[in-house]
Every structure is written in structure tokens, then in C-alpha cells.
Structure 1
Amino acid sequence: MPRDTQATAVTAIIRDDAEALHSARTLAEEFKQQSATRDRERRLPHQELEAFSRSGLWGISVPKAFGGAGVSNVTLAEVIRIISAADASLGQIPQNHFYALEVLRVNGSPAQQARLYAEVLAGQRFGNALAELGTKTAHDRTTRLSRDGSGNGWRINGRKFYATGALYAQRIPTSVVDDNGVQQLAFVPSNATGLSVIDDWSGFGQRTTGSGSVVFDNVYVEADDVVPFQTAFERPTTVGPLAQILHAAIDTGIARAAFEDALHFVRTRTRPWIDSGIEKAVDDPLTLHSFGKLGIRLHAAEALLERSGEFLDRAQAETTPENLAQASIAVAEARAISTEISLEAGSTLFELAGSQATLAEHGLDRHWRNARVHTLHDPVRWKYYAIGNYYLNDVNPPRRGTI
């Protein structure tokens, strides 16, 4: 499978939050058109990603000091929500790109920041190779980083899975364990000798994210391309909640798409139930009741997403343990409700729209499938535990990036 290993030729530089939001809304209208077809045929979105990159949106979290827009986390989450509502896979592909940029912001040296941020502003995309199969827990890592024989760099050996975006990336940030057992993040060029990206993602949702395997067979990486990783969770940093707010944004976007498609289908195609005694489905009181409940929950999810961005902005500006805990809990609340409303909207759509909505040509099942697959990233039941423990017992959430 061909990979996008070259940076885009001409990439816009977005200057502020308003420009980022305008660009996202414009792209979303374009991405929405063939979203169902791409999902049905598993048509990988190479052209769409080129447009996404050229828009400059992949560089909006680069700090102003390095030439980026340095947008707020409210804006960053809203951009991902907007794109995800148009195509959930396109919304998820840059998630770990922004995650890697946050690791770079909090742990990278000034020289690393200047060089890698410049690549992003020039149009390069970062994928990810973080998770592994077959380990005791989802957070264990076995991929090794060992000194190269020349002493000038490192060698990587291991295999990754759930590598969202790696198929489309120019660099693949990779979690590795060094000779001292400490995790590092290596920003590996995707054309490195010995690196293989395998398109073996077969999930029934998020079908075009390219979330398959990456294999490292004695892959060389420059010492300057290795950034400390484990230390981002050994002290107060916003790496964890930054990752989580983007997940919440993806799910909130999926929920919005399912809700809007349900509205459209009921307005234009759905017939009233015979016992209702009404002429149009839109006048069915039980349907109105269900749409009312969905609408309220969706608006609550969107409001909590915005609120969590505000808490995260505060924690980035002043990263104290207290601010970080508040941000993590606010993001967990947004993540919990976005999980539930995305699944609820994707399922209730069919109850309200009726049997016609299940026909393959409409592609409406993709919303529930996308939500079900993406919300398995980490269990929502543990978010409620962490939130309750915080409010009742003043226990701060863990700094793993999953709460």
C-alpha cells in the first residue's frame, strides 16, 4: 500500500483561532460529501489528507514563539469535533499528531522544538506507533531503543499496533524503552530503512484511519530525534488530558453527525407509525420526545467539551498539580458524556428513522460503528470512578493519559 511520505508542497500558515475554525468548517463541508462512500469501500483518504495538511490545520497547536497559531485547547478540540462530524476517521487521524506535539512542547529541547515544529508548519504529518499487542496491560511496552554500534544514534526493534495515522505520516513518533527501562519517544522518519507500515487494520469502525501495524527491524534513529517521554507523566504536565480532550472531541463529532442524519432522515423519509394517528413522522410525540432527549445530551456534551478546553488552557498556562487535576477531571467528564451520547445517537437514529435507515446505500450504520470502536480506547467506567473519587475523597486522577 502506498504511503504519503512526502510533505505537502504548499501549506498555509494559520494565524489565529478564528482562522482555524473557519478553515475547519470549510474543509468539513468538503469531507462530508464522500464520507459514507469512503467508509463503505474503505477508500483511504489520501487526497482529503493532502487538503487537510495544506489548510495549515495540522500546525495550529505550534506555539506562537515558533511561528504557529498557538490556538487555545477550546479551539483545537472544536476543530477536531468539526472534522469528526464530517468524517470520524479524518478527525481521528491527527489525534496522535497533536499528542506528539504536546510531548514535544513539554519535554523537547529548544533545538528539537524548533526543528520539528518547522517540519509541521511546512506540512509534515506525524503518525504514531505507541500501543502494542500481547503485553500484560495496554500501557506496557516492549519495543527497544538500543545504542547504535557507531555511538552516534539509536536502533529500534519491535512491533506496534493501533498505529493511527502512521500510514499517512512523514514521521512516526514511537514509544520505546531504552537500556535503562525508561520510555522515550522517537520521532522516526517514515522512510527509514527497516521500518514497515502494514495496512492490516480490520476494525468494523473508523475503517480508514490506517490504524494497523508498524514493524521496526533494527531501524536507525538520530539521537536528536529522541525526546523524553516517561517524564511527562512523572511530573505535572498536560500531555494526558490533551490526548483525552481530542478523543472526546472525536466522539462528540460522531454524535453530532448521527443526530443531524437522524433529523434529516425523519424529516424526509420516515413514515409515521400506524397507531400514532398522525400524517407525518415529525409530528409523532414519542419521536419528538426522543429527539428532545438526544438534543439535550448532545448540547451538554458540546458544552462540557468547551469547558474542558478552558480548564486545559488554564493548566497549560500554569501547570500546578491542582490545575492539572481540575483539567483532567473536566476532560474526563467530557469524555464520559461524549462516549455515551455518541453510542446513544448512533443507535437511536435507527429507532427513530425506521427500517429504511438500515439500507446499505445510506451508510448510517457507520456512526454507531465508529463510536463503538473509538470509545473502546479506554473504558468510560473508570472515568466515573476517577471523577467520583476526586469529588468525594479529594483524590487526584492518575497521570497516565487515560483519565
Structure 2
Amino acid sequence: MTIELSPAPEARAGSLALPATPRVARTPERIADDAQALDVARRLAAQFAGDAVLRDRERRLPWPELDAFAASGLWTITVPRAYGGPGVSAGTLAEVTATISAADGSLGQIPQNHFYALEVLRVGGNAQQQRFFYDRVLAGERFGNALAEIGQKDFKRRTRLTRAQEGWRVDGRKFYCTGALYAHWIPTLVVAQEAGGDVEWLVFVPRDAPGVTVVDDWDGFGQRVTGSGSVQFEDVRVEPEWVVPFASSFQRPTTIGPLAQIMHAAIDLGQARGAFAAALEFVREHARPWIDAKVERAADDPLAIAQFGDLAARLRAAEALLRRAGRFVDAAQAASTEQSVAEASIAVAEARAATTTVSLDAGSRLFELAGTAATLDDLGLDRFWRNARTHTLHDPVRWKYHAIGNFYLNGTLPPRHGAL
């Protein structure tokens, strides 16, 4: 299957005059099962890889690629079968994410919060909410996110949901809003006053609702076209039916956290694959052997061969840990208990530790093995390290090792939140 790329909207990165709401270019294809999802991902990745350097260098927002991505059906793959979707496994979701990320790390990350919102909906939404929003996804609509806030040293949310007779309103400002730029709905984490104090909810806010302003102000040196900038909410009216429980979904064992984290691990794994493949090609085709190696080709340098062997072994180990984590997440989704969710969280943390390390190392060793010629700007090979370094800062890997060690040494279950 080849998905045609539709023309992009006129607005470009760096221009804050963005389209009010992205259109749905085409009704998505229906993906039948895991095998088809993986096949479609491989075909799309081959298409997306061609202009990845150009998108990164020019910060060219990937509107046509996202339309093709959504039209392929891959944004529907976690919709349960009972609601008309393929309901693929967590391992398949992770492999799809890694496959796209190897071609373009930004494109691999953009739908991460789309799938996160679908998991929050699956866990905490009522049947009516699930039917409504699953149908929207099957029709081709995309979810972004407005979860994080900056400017404060704590992690308290200050974006508020106010309930009144004249309507429910959202006010606040968010940052790191990956996917919101390209979304039809922006799932937004808010606090609302309850009898016992503030309680967190997830509100699915229409992108074109009056009072919503999406600002393209993400200028990170990596993941440049994820659109992870700001969203402002000023007296935005929302319907009660768009409000889904959030805090209560972490008061009991659920797979929201492990599913979120396995996608992050998959993005990092994809970055590592992309860097490894680029290093192989450059050393085979372009690099010069070091004089002391006394060989004709850089690919015959015995020290370079050993370095590639080491990197390949650790890349395969990371892949194995990610597949293993997917099985634990699937088991926990099927039967969510304290133990099953904890085991899934730890398995995913182990995968994240491995994928974080290998993605950074692959991006760095690419240059060590390829040599100075690989640093030429028009090649864009630095994007692998920049993307990996930026994305792996999402949450600190040092706390993954702490959670893993505390679990095995002391039997301490990991905390339940979106970062584990």
C-alpha cells in the first residue's frame, strides 16, 4: 500500500498564523490485525525517510506526512475491536512507533499522546465517551495533548476546570504540547475544585473552540517538528461529556503509565536503529580507514568492526527488552492487579533504560566510526543524536534504575503515574 502525500497547508514553522483546525484529508484505511499494522508502518517509514533531513533542517512542519500517516489507519490501531478498531497488542504499538521513529524521530513521537489519551479513555471513560471518541478516531481525527506546565518548580497543575450553571470553562497555559499543533482535539489535564480539594481530570478540548490558541514556539535543538510548543486556554467552554477521570485512574492499578512509557522506549529504539543504519551505510560507502589499520576499506578496520559488533549487540538487547515489556503490558491490560501493573512498569523501565542508552550511544558513535566527513551539515546525520538527546530527557533514566533496583531488592512497587 502506498499512501499519497497531500499538499501541506500554507502555514509553515516559524509562522504563528497556523490553520485553525487541521482537516481530515481522507477516511483512514481499516487495519485488520497486528501483522497488517506492522506492514503498513514499514511501507510508510520508507516514504517518510526520504525528506527527513530536509524537514529537520528547515523545520518544515510535516502536514502531508501526518495526513498520510493518519490515512494509513495506524492512528486507529489501539481502538478496541469491540468499537470497530483492530485493538493491536502493546508490542505491536511499540514496534510501529519504533519503525516510524527510525525514519523520522519527530513523526514517531507526534502520535504518542494520541495513544496515551486513548488509553486514559479506555481505562477511565464511560461507554458513551468511549463510543464517541473512538468513532472520531476511526473517522480520522487526531488527538494532541496539553498536559505539562512550566514556570513552576513543582508538578502541580494550574490549568483549571470551572463548573458553573452557565457552562464549564477551562483556563490556563500549557507547554510541551506535542501533537496539539496538528490535532483536532487537545486532551488537556486540568484541576477542578472538589469537596476534598483539587482533583485532576482530562478534558478533550476541540482545537477550534473559541479561546484556544496554539502557538508554534517549540525551538528545541532536537525533535524539531513535533510542534511541542504552547497552548493557551482563555475561558474555553467545554461540555461535561468531554471530561474524563484522570486522578482516579492512578488510584488503582492501570496500564496508563506503562503504555505511555513503552511508546517513549520505542521512540528511542527507533532513533538508535536509524543512527545504526546510517553509520553502516556511511562507513561502507564513504569513510576512509585509519592509517594504522592498514586496510583498503573502512569497513575492514578491525577496531571499527568490533565497535559495530558491540553496538549491534546492545541494540538487539534493547529490542528484546522492548518486546518483553510489550508482553507484560498486554498481560496487565488483560488483568490489571497491583502485581501485574507493577511488573509491567518494571519491564518497561528496563526497556527504557536500555533504549535510552543505546539511542544516545548510536547517535554519538556514528561520528566516531564515520569520521569528520560525516559532520557535513547537508548530510543531517547529527539529527539522530539531537533527537535522541532531546527525547530521552522526557523523564530521567536514573529514576528508572532506582525503580528497578527497589523492586528487586526491596520488593517495593513502583509509583503509579505517567512516568513509570
TM-score, normalization: structure 2? Answer: 0.94
Q: Is 2:390 the counterpart of 1:376?
A: no
**Which 4+ stretches in 1 moved above 3 angstroms?**
none
Match of 2:414 in 1: 397
> How far is the alpha carbon of 1:275 from its aligned partner?
1.6
Match of 1:135 in 2: 152
Query: Among residues 167, 177, 201, which one is paired with 2:191 in the alignment?
Result: 177
RMSD: 0.8
Match of 1:21 in 2: 38
Unaligned segments of structure 2, at least 5 residues: 1-16
Query: Among residues 212, 215, 233, which one is paired with 1:195 in the alignment?
Result: 212
Q: Is 2:365 the counterpart of 1:365?
A: no
> How far is the alpha carbon of 1:149 from its aligned partner?
4.2
Deviations 1:114-151 (A, max 9, x none): 000000000000000000001233x321000001441x
> How far is the alpha carbon of 1:207 from its aligned partner?
0.0
Q: Is 2:193 the counterpart of 1:158?
A: no
Match of 2:136 in 1: 119
Match of 1:63 in 2: 80
Deviations 1:315-373 (A, max 9, x none): 00000111001100000000111000000000000000000000011100000000000
> How far is the alpha carbon of 1:166 from its aligned partner?
0.2
Q: Is 2:87 the counterpart of 1:73?
A: no
- Counterpart residue type for residue 52 of structure 2: S
Q: Is 2:314 the counterpart of 1:300?
A: no
Unaligned segments of structure 1, at least 5 residues: none
Give, in whole Å, the separation in 2 of the partners of 1:253 and 1:119: 28
- Counterpart residue type for residue 310 of structure 2: K
> How far is the alpha carbon of 1:78 from its aligned partner?
0.4
- Describe the SS at the equivalent of 1:376: coil
- Counterpart residue type for residue 169 of structure 1: A
| Partners of 1:171 and 1:188 within 8 A in 2 | yes
Give, in whole Å, the separation in 2 of the partners of 1:60 and 1:148: 37
Query: Among residues 36, 39, 42, which one is paired with 2:53 in the alignment?
Result: 36
TM-score, normalization: structure 1? Answer: 0.98
Query: Among residues 350, 356, 363, which one is paired with 1:333 in the alignment?
Result: 350
- Counterpart residue type for residue 147 of structure 1: R
Match of 1:10 in 2: 27
| Partners of 1:135 and 1:141 within 8 A in 2 | no
- Counterpart residue type for residue 49 of structure 2: K
Match of 1:284 in 2: 301
Deviations 1:199-245 (A, max 9, x none): 00000000000000000000011100000011111110000000000
Give, in whole Å, the separation in 1 of the partners of 2:183 and 2:137: 11
- Counterpart residue type for residue 253 of structure 1: G
| Partners of 1:107 and 1:232 within 8 A in 2 | yes
Query: Among residues 290, 299, 303, which one is paired with 1:273 in the alignment?
Result: 290
> How far is the alpha carbon of 1:154 from its aligned partner?
1.2
